[in-house]
Homo-oligomer: A and B are copies of this chain.
Amino acid sequence: MKFSVTVTLKKDVLDPQGKVVQTTLKNLGFAELRSVRQGKFFEVEVDELDQRKAEIKIKEMCEKLLVNLIIEDYKIVKI
């Protein structure tokens, strides 16, 4: 069973990377751009047939390793 995990900076946390990407896109002429936030993406595959159980496992992986809970939020989606 495959899941996508997206990890983004919490709202109040400085995102220097997103800021630079945003200005560069603007400079490249993308006037309609409103905002960019950058984060991490993981594609995680587990040997587990029960979706609920799998999700619990992945949540655990996030909290234990993949995500820095102090500055990041995350979202798990089945794919």
Report A's interface with B, CB cutoff 8 A. Answer: 4, 6-8, 18, 21, 24-25, 28, 30, 32-48, 54, 57, 60-61, 64-66
**7 contacting pairs across A/B (C-beta < 8 A):** A6-B6, A7-B41, A28-B64, A36-B42, A37-B42, A39-B41, A41-B41
**Beta-carbon contact of A21 and B64 below 8 Å:** no
**Beta-carbon contact of A32 and B6 below 8 Å:** no
- State A57–B28 Cα separation when bound (angstroms): 12
**Beta-carbon contact of A39 and B40 below 8 Å:** yes
Given A7-B41, A40-B40, A42-B39: A34 in contact with B47 (beta carbons within 8 A): yes
Given contacts A24-B65, A39-B40, 5 further A-B contacts (CB under 8 A): A32-B57, A34-B46, A36-B44, A37-B42, A37-B43
